[in-house]
Structure formats: structure tokens, C-alpha cells
């Protein structure tokens, strides 16, 4: 019997039973059983089989209904060849980093990976690291890959009576200790910055929440951020601004910077808040304009400023993704700026994921500058 | 800071449709990862992501070695992306004869990424840090010239005790 295939089959069945065969949020624990979900066969391997097919082969090897042993149907794997499994990693978009900002503002929780984005390593560290694999993707982008030596570590953790890891939720029941051999993989892909003088012109569409919940500091932060963002623009960039509360309002469209800088600054300065929050209406109008004014020679980007507290109209995120496409293709990315301490991080994260952008957090004037 | 030097990262995309995949030897089991999501099912691919100009995608992943033979098994890395400078999809495929060929001494970036990731786990109440909070604090204190990020983290770690 091919014991390796039998093991694979068992692991797949376990995987399916645990529901771990799909993308896993990193909020989930990697229990021993769950991690065996890795044993799904590779997609381009001659050994690749669907779970159902594999189950059938497993049955065959144990004595199928037709009486065959199955040994002739499943070629044995060469002794010296180690089977592989496929794995895909998502680091999250490189600029998503609201969680550490929330932590700094005193809110406990959030997403650990955004700390790695926020506390960005100095660019020079790529050069200082000893890579096993180092590759120039092109003249702007490089990647590196390495692992550490296998090492044995001992871990003590709070556990339940059955030895299960209780994490941080239950402390003090009893302590368990485990010893295991581990390797750590490091991957980095880095893109060079583009100097302002060399970058393509930008075509920015600001979509600004001016609902009642933005009154006070939130609107102050948003206005300051809008004004400050102009410091990053250069001649030839274009700017459009839509605001929304219960209604969506176009304030100006397709104004060229720097020729219209005063008009743009005045519009920012005159923003006032009040009313409900129909975010969908605001985004719809902004994307209608963004698609109409799409400029293939420019970098087109929608930037949403909001506390995220949508409470009027269509508050669902589902279906929003289609707005960000041009004729079904990728097109106009959305960056989100969460304003104020109590912005709806989950909504902003979901929106910017759908819009293939990143989101940041504005808890204070200091964070703007 | 966001609307100062950082702002261009919100706008400038260096590459989109980025996907990072690996083929790894059986006998390794993923235990922890400093990024967002992982899929082990080719039929359930993760959403592609973007790489901002002047920015990086960095992650560490910890694997438990259940079978020593895995360290001699073949591995590969496949990175798919569309640099916006060309607008053309690019695929980088790297074959690694033995997983152990990837071994190199931990350098400054590795150590830094582990420190930040460990701090993040404690700051957000997640499991999986590679050291205790006391060890994290001691390791941060031992740094000679921490960059701004590590210096800031050092200040926050004491608050987590």
C-alpha cells in the first residue's frame, strides 16, 4: 500500500472535516490538526487529485469493491522524493496599517499584520540581510527569501484539562509544555520609491464624509489632511471632490493643480458637517466621475475620508467591488482614511479590500502631519 | 505623518495583482504567519494585493518540522505581479532543490520583523509570539541603535506588562 497517499487522504479528510481547506484568516490559531491541512496535493503535480478522487483511491488500496488491491493503479512514489503542498500567503496590501494607530490611540485589539506594515523596516535592511534567494523582479522591485536553521523550542502555555491551548482567554487553569522543532521563513518584496519629479501625474477623487458624526474634531482632521495632501501634488495633477451625508454633492471636478490650487483649498476650508451617512451614494457618485474622467496617462485613485458609520441607504459592502472596475478590469483603486477614534474599521477594511487599496487611520492632528 | 511623506504610498502603486505562492515539502506544518491570510487550497485562492511604491511586503512564517526528511525535499517560490511601469503580468518562479538550501543566518531584517510581529501579537491579544513579553522587552532594550519604529515599540512594551 502506498502509505504516503493514505496519509494524504487521511489528512484531506481531516482538513475537510475541520473546514480548513480554504483561505484562513490569521486571526485563527494554527492548531496541530489544522496545520495538517497543508497536505493538500500540489495543483500542478502528477499526483494531484481532488479530495473525492483521493478518497476513492484510498478505498481501492484498502480493498475496493471490485476486489482489486489498487496497487497497480497508484504508482508508488520514489523513496527519495518528498511530496509537496501548495500554500499562498497574503501579507495584506503594503500600506494597510490602521491597527497600530488604533493601539496608539488606546484601543486594544486589531490585526497584528498591520503592525508590520506600520513599523516599516528601513529600506536599507534588504541589502543588509543575507538572503538565500535574491531576485530583481525588475529595475524597481526586488525580492528575497530565506529560512533559519531548524531549532528546537519549548513553549509553555495555559491549557485546558484536555491539553488544548487556551491562549489568552483562560489563564491559570493549568500549564502545559510542548517541545517542537521549527524553522522560520522570511520573505520580503520591496519597491523603490518614485521621486515626485519622475512619477506619473495623479488623478485624485476625494470622497469626503460630511455627515453629522463627522462634526467637530473628525471634520477638522479631515480638512487638515485634505489641505496637507496638496503638499504632495505637482503641476498637472488633477483633483475632484465629492462630499456625502444623506445626499452626495459634487464640489468640483477635474481641476488641474496648481492652476486651481486656491479654488481647491477654499472648497476644503468651507466643508461643513451635518445629516445622515449614505456612504454608498457618495461612493457611487465618486466612482461615476472617476470612470468618466479616467485618464490612462495618470494614476487614478479614489480616497475616501469617513468615520465609516454608514446609516442611511445601502449600507452593505457587497457589490461595492464592481464599482472599482473599468469594464470588468482592475481600474480605480480606493484608499480609505478612517477619521476619528470610533471609525468603523471593519467596514473601511472591507471597502478598501474590495477596492484593492489600503486604509489608514486619522486619530489626531499629529497623525496628519 | 500620513499626509506628509507617507501620502504617496496611498496613491502610488508599484505593482498590483500580487500573489505569493510556495510549494513546500510535506512534513512541514504552518504554525504562525505575520501576514494577513493563508490558503492551502489552490481552488480557494486569496485576493491579489498591491505593492505601493517605496514600500515593502514583509512576512515571517513559522513551520513545525514533523518529518526531518522535509528539510531535504524540494521547494519552489512563485510570485505573480503586474508592475504598473509595464502593465504586463510577470511571473517569477524559483526552484529550490532542497528546502535546507534556503537556510541562512538570521540578519537584521529577520530579527526586526520577528520583534515587530511579536509585539503585534501581544498588542492585539493574539497567540503565536515567538518569545515571552519579558523576553521581548529585554531584546528591545538590548538594541544599540533602534530605528524609530523599534524605539517606539520599546516604549509601548512596558505598558503591556
Catalogue all structural domains in chain A, each as residue range(s) with its CATH number. Answer: 1-88 (no CATH), 151-183 (no CATH), 202-368 (3.40.50.410)
Buried b (16+ CB within 10 A) or exposed e, A319-337: ebbebbeeeeeebbbbbbb
Does A40 contact chain B (CB < 8 Å)?
yes
Residue (of B2, B1, B20, B18) closest to B10 by Cα position: B2
Tens digit of pLDDT at every position of chain A (369 positions): 333 333 333 333 333 333 333 344 443 333 332 232 333 233 333 333 332 333 322 222 233 333 333 334 444 555 567 799 999 999 887 777 888 888 888 877 788 988 998 898 999 999 999 999 999 999 999 999 999 999 999 877 777 777 776 655 545 567 888 899 999 999 999 999 988 999 999 999 999 999 999 999 999 999 999 999 999 999 999 999 999 999 999 999 999 999 999 999 999 999 999 999 888 899 999 999 999 999 988 989 999 999 876 665 655 666 666 666 665 555 788 888 989 877 777 777 777 877 777 778 888 787 777
Using a cut of 0.80, tell me whether the model's pTM lies above it: no
Kindly list the residues from chain A whose CB atom is less than 8 angstroms away from the CB atom of residue B25: 82-84
Does A129 contact chain B (CB < 8 Å)?
yes
- Locus of grid cell 496545520: A35
For the domain bounded by B7-102, which CATH number is listed? 2.60.40
pLDDT for B110: 97
CA separation, residue A222 to residues A199, B4, B122 (Å) = 25, 14, 31
Contact B54, A120 (CB under 8 A): no
SS (H, E, C) A140-208: CEEEEEEECCCEEEEEEEEECCCCCECCCCCCCCEEEEEEEEEEEEEEEEEECCCCCCCCCCEEEEEEE
- Closest residue of B to A20, CA-based? B40
Cell numbers for A330, please give them. 482592475
Cell numbers for A334, please give them. 480606493
- Closest residue of A to B12, CA-based? A299
B124 closest CB neighbour out of A109, A180, A301: A109
pLDDT for A22: 38
Distance CA B76, CA A43 (A): 13
- Closest residue of A to B28, CA-based? A38
Domain boundaries, given as residue ranges, for chain B: 7-102, 108-160
- The neighbouring-strand residues paired with B59 are A187
pLDDT for A11: 36
Kindly list the residues from chain B whose CB atom is less than 8 angstroms away from the CB atom of residue A135: 92, 94
**Parallel, antiparallel, or unpaired: how do β-strands A359-362 and B49-52 relate?**
unpaired
H-only helix segments in B13-132: 108-124
Contact A349, A98 (CB under 8 A): yes
Other CB atoms within 10 Å distance of the CB of residue B110: 23
Asked if A82's CB is within 8 angstroms of B26's CB, the reply is yes
A275 Ramachandran zone, left/alpha/beta (phi>0; psi -120 to 50): left
Kindly list the residues from chain A whose CB atom is less than 8 angstroms away from the CB atom of residue B41: 21-23, 40, 86
Distance CA A239, CA A258 (A): 10
Does A19 contact chain B (CB < 8 Å)?
no
Q: Which residues contact A195 (CB under 8 A, 6 or more apart)?
A: none
Q: Which residues contact A139 (CB under 8 A, 6 or more apart)?
A: none
- Tell me: cis bond preceding B75? Omega within 30 of 0 counts: no
Distance CA A83, CA A176 (A): 32
* Mutation to test the A interface, candidates B126, B128, B133, B147, most A Cβ within 10 Å: B126
Kindly list the residues from chain B whose CB atom is less than 8 angstroms away from the CB atom of residue A257: none
Amino acid at each position: 500500500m502506498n502509505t504516503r497517499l493514505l496519509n494524504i487522504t487521511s489528512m484531506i479528510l481531516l482538513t475537510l472535516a475541520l473546514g480548513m481547506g480554504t483561505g484562513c484568516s490569521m486571526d485563527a490559531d494554527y492548531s496541530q490538526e489544522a496545520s495538517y491541512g497543508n497536505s493538500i496535493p500540489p495543483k500542478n503535480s502528477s499526483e494531484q487529485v481532488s479530495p473525492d478522487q483521493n478518497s476513492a483511491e484510498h478505498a481501492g488500496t484498502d480493498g475496493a469493491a471490485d476486489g482489486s488491491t489498487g496497487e497497480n493503479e497508484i504508482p508508488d512514489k520514489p523513496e527519495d522524493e518528498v511530496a509537496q503542498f501548495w500554500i499562498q500567503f497574503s501579507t495584506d496590501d503594503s500600506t494597510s496599517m490602521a491597527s497600530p494607530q488604533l493601539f496608539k490611540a488606546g484601543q486594544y485589539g486589531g490585526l497584528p499584520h498591520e503592525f508590520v506594515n506600520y513599523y516599516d523596516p528601513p529600506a536599507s535592511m534588504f541589502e543588509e540581510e543575507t538572503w538565500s534567494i535574491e531576485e530583481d523582479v525588475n529595475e524597481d522591485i526586488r525580492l528575497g527569501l530565506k529560512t533559519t536553521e531548524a531549532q528546537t523550542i519549548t513553549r509553555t502555555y495555559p491549557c485546558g484539562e484536555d491539553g488544548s491551548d487556551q491562549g489568552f482567554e483562560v489563564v491559570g487553569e493549568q500549564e502545559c509544555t510542548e517541545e517542537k522543532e521549527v524553522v522560520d521563513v522570511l520573505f520580503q518584496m520591496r519597491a523603490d520609491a518614485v521621486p515626485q519629479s519622475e512619477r506619473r501625474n495623479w488623478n485624485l477623487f476625494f470622497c469626503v464624509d460630511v455627515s453629522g458624526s463627522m462634526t467637530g474634531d473628525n471634520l477638522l482632521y479631515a480638512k487638515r489632511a485634505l489641505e496637507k495632501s496638496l503638499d504632495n501634488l505637482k503641476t498637472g495633477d488633477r483633483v475632484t471632490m465629492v462630499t456625502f451625508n444623506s445626499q452626495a454633492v459634487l464640489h468640483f471636478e477635474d481641476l488641474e493643480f496648481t492652476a486651481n490650487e486656491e479654488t481647491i483649498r477654499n472648497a476644503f476650508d468651507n466643508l461643513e458637517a451635518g445629516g445622515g451617512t449614505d456612504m454608498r451614494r457618495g461612493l457611487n457618485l465618486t466612482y461615476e466621475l472617476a470612470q468618466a474622467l479616467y485618464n490612462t496617462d495618470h494614476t487614478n485613485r479614489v480616497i475616501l475620508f469617513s468615520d465609516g458609520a454608514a446609516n442611511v441607504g445601502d449600507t452593505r459592502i457587497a457589490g461595492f467591488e464592481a464599482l472599482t472596475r473599468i469594464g470588468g478590469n482592475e481600474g480605480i483603486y480606493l484608499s480609505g482614511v478612517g477619521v476619528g477614534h470610533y471609525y468603523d474599521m471593519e467596514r473601511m477594511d472591507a471597502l478598501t479590500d474590495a477596492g484593492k487599496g489600503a486604509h489608514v487611520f486619522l486619530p489626531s492632528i499629529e497623525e496628519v502631519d | 505623518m500620513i499626509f506628509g511623506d507617507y501620502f504617496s504610498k496611498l496613491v502610488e502603486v508599484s505593482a498590483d495583482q500580487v500573489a505569493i505562492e510556495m510549494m513546500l515539502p510535506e512534513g512541514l506544518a504552518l504554525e504562525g504567519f505575520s501576514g494577513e491570510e493563508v490558503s492551502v487550497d489552490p481552488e480557494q485562492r486569496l485576493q491579489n494585493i498591491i505593492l505601493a511604491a517605496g514600500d515593502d511586503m514583509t512576512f515571517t512564517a513559522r513551520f513545525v518540522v514533523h518529518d526531518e526528511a522535509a528539510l531535504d525535499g524540494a521547494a519552489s517560490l512563485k510570485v505573480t505581479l503586474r508592475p504598473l511601469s509595464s502593465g504586463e503580468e510577470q511571473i517569477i518562479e524559483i526552484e529550490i532543490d532542497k528546502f535546507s538550501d534556503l537556510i541562512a543566518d538570521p540578519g537584521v531584517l529577520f530579527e526586526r520583523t520577528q520583534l515587530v510581529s511579536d509585539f503585534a501579537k501581544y498588542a492585539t491579544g493574539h497567540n503565536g509570539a515567538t518569545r515571552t513579553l519579558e523576553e521581548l522587552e529585554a531584546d528591545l532594550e538590548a538594541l544599540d541603535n533602534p530605528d524609530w519604529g523599534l524605539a517606539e515599540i520599546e516604549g509601548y512594551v512596558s505598558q503591556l506588562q
